[in-house]
Each structure stands twice: as structure tokens, then as C-alpha cells.
Structure 1
Amino acid sequence: MTIEKRGDGTVGKALDVLSEVAEIGSPVRFSSLLKTSKYPKATLYRLLQTLLNQDMLSYNEEEQTYKLGLKLVRMAHSAWLQSSLAPVAVPFIDELSAKVGETVHLAELDNGQVLYVDKRNPASPIEMYSQAGKVGPAYCTGVGKAMMAFLEESELSKVISKQAFFKYTDHTITSEKALRKELTMIKKEGISFDRQEHEEKIICISSPILTSNGRVIGGLSITSSTDIHSLESLEKYKPELLATSEQIGKEAGAWSFPEKSIN
């Protein structure tokens, strides 16, 4: 079935506002939302009321702040159960993190970017950008490059076209040519590395999660800091990383993991 894209109208505007509240990450006043919103005061107020009526937002009368509603939390949990690798992968990433004593990330490609769907921290977690539910760039993260390297060319071209190639650090890849060169090496080796490309001091070793027919359905990474590891010392985890990725891929296949569009 072909879906014709049209203007999203009120639904699209309400979702814009919902996203703004979510991105702030803490209860927010109307005046603060108004400063950054693209909608005029009356429209913003009406959209907020619609979201409140649908229990997608909640309002604290005393503090006069808006935050995400419990209905949205329930929906997010349902989506997590139905459409992500997370429920399948839970026991495997638990075991891997316990075995290596490092942070483990589980991710998927979403609209050309990396969506972190689960994360396990060791006893002493390292502060880093990635958290479950956050979206990061694919071209400068180990898990993003691992997934990209195993895409079919038609899919890969679409994903690459969505990359900003912004220079986050002195180590960031900033061109399609350099990225494709590295992706070729990653496909040969079966693993990728984050060489402090997205965040200073944060490094990782990553692998794709593939179905039995080689389709990319996710990525897995073991992440640490240059204060603790070098890339060479992280590479010792390659056997455990690949074995866990393979286990998750097989289990996901048994669940008949759904086809997902990367567009």
C-alpha cells in the first residue's frame, strides 16, 4: 500500500509540541515553551490543552509546569515491547555487560540515525551522551558504522544522504568518501570502533546484529573511556561481542522480527 504524504494538520502540530516537551527533559512552564515554539501563543495553548485532554501531558497546578503524561509512558513501553530488539536482547546484553564489566549499548537505525533502545552499565558507569531512547548520529558512532557497513548499497546510500558530517571532535569523519572507506574495512573485519568520534574520551567496539539472511536489524557495542581502555584493549572483547550479536540475531529471527523502513 502506498501512503500519500500530506500536511499533518493539528495532529502534526500537537506532536511537535509533545516532542518539544520531551526534549527539554524536565517539567517546563508555558512561558519557556513559548520562547522556543514555532507556534503563536494561542495556538500553543490550544495544542497543550489537547495533549492534556488526551493524557499525553500532565500539568502541575502548583508549579505551573507541563511534563509527559502516564498515557504516553504506557504507549512508549508498548512500542518498546512490540517494535524494538530490546525485549529479545535483554538476557544477552545483561550477560555480556556482566562478563566484560563495561557499558553495553543496543541500537537500531531509525531514519538514518542511531536509536539507542537499551543500555547496561557496569558497577561504575561512565558519563556519556547515549541513553536508551536517545538518538545519535550514525556516521561517527561505532554502533552506527557497524550497522551501516552491512546494509545493501541502495539502503546505505539513503542512510548516508541523511548524515550531517558535523565535526564533533578532531577524530570525527567528515566526508562520505572517508566514511565509505571505513565501512569497507568494517565489513571485512566484522567490527567497528568509535575512536572518540562523537565524544572526547569515549571509545567503543561494535558489531551489527544480523538475521540469518544477513539483514541488519540492530547493532551492539561495548563502550568505555580512554581513561580505562585503549582501542587495542577493547578489541579483546571481540569474540564475546560477536557471539552475543549472533545470539540476538538468531533469537530475533525466531520472533520473526518485522521488516522496518529506513526512510
Structure 2
Amino acid sequence: MAGDGTIGKACDVLDQVAAFQRPVRFAELLESSRFPKATLYRFLQSLTNQGMLSYDPDRQTYAPGLRLVRLAHAAWTQSSLAPIARPFLDTLSGETGETVHLAQLDSGQVLYVDKRNAAQPVEMYSQAGKVGPAYCTGVGKAMMAFLDEAELNKVISQQSFHRFTEKTLASEAALRSDLELIRSRGYALDDEEHETGIICVACPIRTPGGRMLGAVSVTGSTERMNFDQLEAWIPRVRRVAEQIAAEAQAWRFPETRPDGQKDRIQAT
């Protein structure tokens, strides 16, 4: 972002390198970069010198560096819900036999922070560490529906409304209508909106004070199940969301009272 100066620009370059999901050559980066050749090269050199990127002189490619890996691991353990939620996700996946996702919002998009595979895993877009759209995924809509109005407006303004399938909610009006329904029933559905043949139910993970922490979903394939079967798991998904929220509030994301003191609740 323009207001973030040099640090923001360097982060843009890191994002660009990571988006290729493979070692990438300078020429490939230059093709899609908003920076002039000399500027892009200078950022790549600085990031490499700092260990944020690694450079392979034989292949002449750049890739995320080990320092970045260490920082990512620290963020995963200290800031994400994943370590707290994993035992609950494993139990839910084992009970349902389906794929379970854990996600958080990141700059208006869905960041998948964990994925527990089912007994019969289904090939799908989502993987831990991947970023996906919020407006057409169950976890994304589950989180958006329970944001306060100002934050919701900001997140909606960041959506692309690209139509991935025939069922994608491809307008703000359609999304807002669905979010109203989600708020009234307490859970979200993804009816093949992001990927054809993939359906899911999702519940938000919120503290008792209403702070949005993330969302959890159970995902299946239309080849072997329908929504009646999937929706039968909603009470269990809701319970897991509550358990994760309680554990997170007790150990990592305590509520802050008006006097500045933090409430901690006993994990259950």
C-alpha cells in the first residue's frame, strides 16, 4: 500500500514471490511487478540479504527464505488459532469422516490456517496457508456475517465478486442478502459457490464478547453426499466452534474489560 512506504513495497515483493508457489525467475517477477526493473532488483537483493528470500544462482530463481519460514512458524504458533484448535478439528474430522477447515480473515480474504483431511479426502482448492475469497466460501461468509457494520463494509469493499461457478454470489446485494440469512440461523453454507461439486457448512468462532476469531467448516463432495446429510453435523460444528473460542479466550485471545483488565475463562 502506498502509505506503508518502503516496508509496504518490500512486503508486496514478498507476496509476489510467494504467489508463484515455486521458485521464480526475475523476468517472471518483472512481468507482473508494479515496480521498475531497477527498483524490483533492489528489493530482491535487500530481501535476499536479510534472509527473507533465498536465491539459487544455478537456476537463477528466488523463493521464500528460511528467515521468513521461521517468522511464519512463529506466527502460526503465536497468532493463529491452529495450535489451539487442532485437537478439536481432529475429533470433528474423525467423527464426520469429512474434511474440516479452520480459517481466519486476512485483509478481506480467507486465510486457511489448518485443514484436517477426511477418511475419503476430496481434491479441492483449500490448503493450510492458502488464501481464498471470503464472499463465496462457507468460512468466509460465516465470519463476514458477524462482523460489526463498519468492519463488514470494509471487508465487502475488498471483494472481487468474480464468478467462479454458476452458483457464485457475484454481487454485493446477493452477498448481503445471504449474510442476513446466516446471521438469523447462525451458520453459513457453501453451495458449490467456489468450486463445482464442493459443499460445506461453517460456523463462526467468536468470543462471548462477540470478537471474531475465525471459522470452522465441514466440507464434502456432492458425488457422495447432499446438504441434508451435511447439515446434520451443524450442532457438532457449532459446538467445536464454541470449544475453540473458549480455549482461545482462556489462553491466547482474552477479552479486555473497560478497566483495561483482561478476562480469562476456564477452557472446556
Structure 2 partner of 1:199: 195
Structure 2 partner of 1:39: 35
Q: Please state how far the C-alpha of 1:63 moved relative to its aligned partner.
A: 1.7
- In the superposition, relative to structure 1, how do residues 7 and 183 fare at CA in structure 2: closer, same or farther (>3 Å)? closer
**Structure showing greater relative contact order (alpha-carbon pairs closer than 8 Å, 6 or more residues apart):** 1
Once the two structures are superposed, residues 44-90 of structure 1 have per-residue CA deviations (whole angstroms, 9 ceiling, x without a partner) of 22211111110111112222211111110000111112211112111
Structure 2 partner of 1:130: 126
Separation (CA, whole Å) in 1 of partners of 2:73 and 2:63 = 17
Q: What SS does structure 1 have at the residue aligned with 2:114?
A: strand
Instruction: Tell me if the contact between 2:2 and 2:8 (Cα under 8 Å) persists in the aligned partners.
Output: no
TM-score by length of 1: 0.90
Is structure 2 residue 98 aligned with structure 1 residue 99?
Answer: no
Q: Please state how far the C-alpha of 1:40 moved relative to its aligned partner.
A: 2.5
Q: What SS does structure 1 have at the residue aligned with 2:233?
A: helix
> Please, which runs of 5 or more residues in structure 1 have no aligned partner?
none
* Partner AA of 1:242 in structure 2: R
- In the superposition, relative to structure 1, how do residues 201 and 77 fare at CA in structure 2: closer, same or farther (>3 Å)? same
> Please, which runs of 5 or more residues in structure 2 have no aligned partner?
256-268
Q: What SS does structure 2 have at the residue aligned with 1:8?
A: helix
Match of 2:215 among 204, 214, 219: 219
- In the superposition, relative to structure 1, how do residues 158 and 258 fare at CA in structure 2: closer, same or farther (>3 Å)? farther
* Partner AA of 2:70 in structure 1: R
Is structure 2 residue 160 aligned with structure 1 residue 182?
Answer: no
Moved more, 160-169 or 55-64: 160-169
Structure 2 matches for 1:1-263, cutoff 5 A?
7-257=3-253
Q: Please state how far the C-alpha of 1:256 moved relative to its aligned partner.
A: 4.3
Instruction: Tell me if the contact between 2:248 and 2:254 (Cα under 8 Å) persists in the aligned partners.
Output: no
Q: Please state how far the C-alpha of 1:178 moved relative to its aligned partner.
A: 2.3
Percent of pairs with identical residues: 60
RMSD after superposition? 1.8
Once the two structures are superposed, residues 140-184 of structure 1 have per-residue CA deviations (whole angstroms, 9 ceiling, x without a partner) of 111111112222223222222222222211101122222222222
How many residue pairs get matched? 255
Once the two structures are superposed, residues 195-234 of structure 1 have per-residue CA deviations (whole angstroms, 9 ceiling, x without a partner) of 0001111110111111122322110000111112111111
Q: What SS does structure 2 have at the residue aligned with 1:115?
A: strand
- In the superposition, relative to structure 1, how do residues 157 and 40 fare at CA in structure 2: closer, same or farther (>3 Å)? closer
- In the superposition, relative to structure 1, how do residues 100 and 78 fare at CA in structure 2: closer, same or farther (>3 Å)? same
